[in-house]
Amino acid sequence: MEILRSHRKSIGKVDAVVPNLLLYRTAPVLEVRLDEFEIYAIDRLKVLKGISDALSRGKKPEEMEKLVDDLWRMHMRQHASQNTNKDIISHFVLRLVYCRSEELRKWFLSMETTLFRYRFRLESPDSQRILMDEFNLPYKALTHAEHESVKDKLSQVSRSIGSSTNFDSIFFKVHFEEVPELVANRKVFMLQGFAYVAMHQATALVVTQFRSLLSKSLVLTYRKWTSTIREQEKDRLTPIVEALSTDYLGPNYSQPKDNIHITLKDIDHLANTSFPLCMRHLFYKLREDHHLKHGGRMQFGLFLKGVGLSLDDALAFWRDEFSKKVGLDRFEKEYAYGIRHNFGKEGKRIDYTPFSCQRIISSVPSVGNHNGCPYRHFSDENLRAALGKMGVGGRSLDDVMDKVKNHHYQLACTLTFEAIHSSSCDTGINHPNQFFVESQKILQSKNQTAS
Amino acid sequence: MVIDGNPNAGSITETFSLEYLRMYYGKLFPYTDMFQWMSYGNDGKHPGCDLSFFGRREFSFTLDNDIYLRFQSFSNLAEMENSIKEKCPFKIDIGPVYSVDPAKRHAYSQGGNSVFAPVERELVFDIDITDYDDVRYCCSGADVCLNCWPLMTAAIKVMDVSLRDDFGFNHILWVYSGRRGIHCWVCDGRARRLTNEQRTAVANYFHVYKGGENSLKKISFTGAALHPFLTRSYTDVLRVIFEEKLLCSQDLFASEERYQKILELIPDETLVTELHEKWSGNKRSTTLNNDRWDHLKHTLQSGKQKVQGLRRCVEEIVFSYTYPRLDMEVSKSMNHLLKAPFCVHPKTGRVCIPIDPNNCDDFDPTSVPSLSELLEELNAAGLKAEFENVSEIEKTSLGKSIKFFRSSFLHPLLKSCKEELERSHNAKLQQSKNSLNW
Ligand code: SF4
Ligand SMILES: [Zn+2]
């Protein structure tokens, strides 16, 4: 794949290849603009993250099928013309992004395989067959003559397993080793070492095949990444690739939502009703110690900014607490700068964005720091106590702890949200500011119906 | 020649003794054939040969006093021969080929990451007549006779055809286990490289009989048709053996107790009562078994019996009484050991000789060469001049077995090993041109 810095040259003829679904056997021979490179990857990542959320929430196959279809339409099919290219490019970019550790590879492999499975199921039988044929899978669709010669046996097998005969007019020859389960249950006709697999049985095989090919390629990609690409591309692709795996993909919370502005006097109340656990913890620690170390100040300060605290109120808020410990003078000298800095009023004048869950969860708080995500960074015991204080108990508490045990921290946070609001949160929690916004929405609508 | 060291030199009286066994290993055991087989062509000069191959195979010995030596390995023919002669094992088992020499497995497992794992193993099957005690009346336990042996013949026929026609295997060795059953070694490269999961799948493909003391009905066919493999087994083998052999040899309908067991397989009370009443008046007849079987078939298959559960009842009965009953565990994993062909069974003194699947009807377990007979033959042959240029083994009745082993199994196997070696060697050379691609 060639990557162009700015404008696009001609794109090779790629449209005549296949149905909607690709097996990504070879890297595309197209030229890609650097901005497309990133945008496409992010769009695909949104699809994969959506799948990942749905899976960890235990969605059923039928629900998954619809969800995958919707996600794909929403993020990957905005423009009919670039479908295939976007699909190929985004896939190969994410290979680079996700080849770089065992953990990343595992996640990517599992999400891409799921995506592939449901997309394959959505294809028409004809294009399913073309896919299987054209991508050189070790299965060959039976020719007409072959089919004729074993027709009776095939229908006998169909009847023996209780599936209707004419439904499956397409059969594949597969080495029996590839389909142990079908062989074990005598669900296929066997001849000379080949299992004759009906189309409806084939989906599982294709998916297995897809998975194993991708798994191998990821390892190869990783080798290539470490041996050449990372160095060669250190000024162009490498930073993009490295950022992508931790990128937060949701809406930007650096500006407060227009209908929510908070003032100093609201904070105590809001902390109690609408702060996620990470922020509550920082808030109460600040009240207790009148101090927070840098990591905590960043995480909490930016959150407050996103929530809608003005610069002046923010300064007043921090001054109030810190002066109790370090005195007014030291606060003005050492800390006020940082707060203005967060608001883009000092230094590079960048308006800093509040941290996403992913960023917070992957941070490594050092001793004495209170930043981080409690679901990830607290001990079991402390977490239970903290959740108890928020009013989470009984079954809900067990559910939350269960997600924690399985390392689904954001889901744990989502369940907490649902428990304390007695209301569902379908999108899941991806950002502390989102937690806040969603919480306020619910509370306000409750107030309105109450009055 | 007279056998030395035998107190009754010249007259062989016992069926089995350590002394006899020592002579057997000294003069008759086919070391070279076994070595060639277990080498699968890797003992040649071809650059593609894996010279470590034979040395990574596990053998295990059961000695005189029940001492059990696992993970024996030999780097060459002479080493194997010497070790067997020296230890004189009552039983030799063959295990898988491991990633490393099994005798040195501890050296490799140090440092936590164990590389010691099986990499190849024949696909094997083990069928014991003891598992058929509920359908044979002539013998029980480890005993066999010509009346019940057709059960083993049925197993060979059903499986041999399927292994060849369904699974596409060519190099299959059937062996009499020396006492109560048969072993099968499938030696094609593809078979040897099956994973445990795939082996389990093959074993399950053959698995129809669902044992269990408490379920009366051990086989039940519910689909609208039988799988082609089962249909073929039924029409070509099982029905024939059932009707032509077992029906009469086991007197399956001769007494109430026996036919009652069959009637229990019929899920229709009215029919069962009808048949039972008809048969209860004790008629003496030479065709009793056949008459009653015909009668049963006729009743079950007559036009009015279109009831779901009865459609396959005749087949179910025949399968229950004849279909192969595998020891599944033996086939499922690469690690399982299986007794080597040409061992001598210590209880019967009989040699584990190959069985020709194409003529398995003629195989007679009661006339398999025994240790004592073989030694007598050797003694006798020693006195005759005509045997001068013949190997010891060919002087005995074992000669026929070894010839069959070579011509029908070993030589075709080695030929195809050579071809495969050539192919994979060339493929490897080709592969170096592979380019990496992300
Ligand atoms: S999941 Fe996100 S919002 Fe919830 S506590 Fe962790 S970092 Fe905060
Ligand atoms: Zn018998």
Task: Please indicate whether residue A239 or residue A6 has the higher confidence score (pLDDT).
Answer: A239
Q: Are residues A197 and A151 in the same domain?
A: yes
Q: Is B305 touching A (CB cutoff 8 A)?
A: no
- Structural domain of A193: 144-201
The pLDDT assigned to B125 comes to 98
The pLDDT assigned to A332 comes to 87
Q: Are residues A42 and A178 in the same domain?
A: no
The pLDDT assigned to A123 comes to 84
Give the helix/strand (H/E) hosting A318.
helix A311-330
Q: Is there a domain that residue B215 lies in? A: no
The pLDDT assigned to B112 comes to 52
Amino acid at B39: S
Q: What is the pTM of this model?
A: 0.65
Region B211-232: mean pLDDT is: 76
Q: Quick check: B239 pLDDT over 90?
A: yes
**Tokens for B221?**
């066919």
By a Cβ cutoff of 8 Å, what residues of chain A touch chain B?
A: 26-27, 92, 95-96, 99, 153, 156-157, 159-162, 176-177, 180-181, 183-186, 189-194, 217, 220-221, 223-225, 229
Region A215-220: mean pLDDT is: 89
Q: Are residues B314 and B330 in the same domain?
A: no
Q: Are residues B109 and B250 in the same domain?
A: no
Q: Is B436 touching A (CB cutoff 8 A)?
A: yes
Q: Are residues B27 and B113 in the same domain?
A: yes
Region B404-415: mean pLDDT is: 97
DSSP A135-202: TT-S-EEPPHHHHHHHHHHHHHHHHHTT--TTT---EEEEEGGG-HHHHHTT-SEEETTEEEEEHHHH
Q: Are residues B315 and B346 in the same domain?
A: no
Query: How far, in Å, from the CA of B130 to the mean position of ligand 1?
Result: 65
Average pLDDT value over all residues in chain A = 82
Q: Is there a domain that residue B43 lies in? A: yes
Query: Could you tell which of A357, A377, A431 is best to mutate to test the pocket of ligand 1, judged by most ligand atoms within 8 Å of the CB?
Result: A357
Question: What amino acid positions of B are annotated as catalytic residues?
Answer: 58, 126, 128
Confidence of residue B314 (pLDDT cuts 50, 70, 90): very high
Q: Is there a domain that residue A256 lies in? A: no
Q: Is B202 touching A (CB cutoff 8 A)?
A: yes
User: Looking at ligand 1, which atom is closest to the CA of residue A276?
Assistant: 3
Number of domains in chain B: 2
Q: Are residues B331 and B404 in the same domain?
A: yes
Q: Are residues B242 and B334 in the same domain?
A: no
Pairing of strands B68-72, B118-120: unpaired
Cα-flanking dihedrals φ and ψ of residue B229, to 5°?
Answer: -60, -40
- Structural domain of B198: 18-126+168-205+326-428
Q: Is there a domain that residue B152 lies in? A: no
Q: Are residues B186 and B97 in the same domain?
A: yes
Q: Are residues A412 and A304 in the same domain?
A: yes
- Our CA angle for B425, B431, B435, nearest 5°, is 170
Strands (E), B341-422: 354-355
Query: Could you tell which of A274, A413, A430 is best to mutate to test the pocket of ligand 1, judged by most ligand atoms within 8 Å of the CB?
Result: A413
Residues with CB under 6 A from ligand 1: A 276-278, 357, 360-361, 373-375, 409-410, 413, 429, 432, 435
Region B107-124: mean pLDDT is: 78
Query: How far, in Å, from the CA of A91 to the mean position of ligand 1?
Result: 29
Tens digit of each residue's pLDDT (9 = 90 or more) over A131-149: 777 666 667 778 889 999 9
Q: Are residues B387 and B308 in the same domain?
A: no
Region B6-25: mean pLDDT is: 74
The pLDDT assigned to A168 comes to 55
Q: Are residues B354 and B336 in the same domain?
A: yes
For residue A235, give the CATH number of its domain: 1.20.930.80
* CA pair distance A385, A379, nearest whole angstrom: 10
Task: Judge contact between A400 and A412, C-beta under 8 A.
Answer: yes
Q: Quick check: A12 pLDDT over 50?
A: no
Q: Are residues B43 and B172 in the same domain?
A: yes
Q: Quick check: B433 pLDDT over 80?
A: no
User: Looking at ligand 1, which atom is closest to the CA of residue A279?
Assistant: 8
Tens digit of each residue's pLDDT (9 = 90 or more) over A104-123: 888 899 899 999 989 988 88
Q: Are residues A293 and A374 in the same domain?
A: yes
* Number of C-beta neighbours around residue A275 at 10 A: 24
* CA pair distance A315, A106, nearest whole angstrom: 45
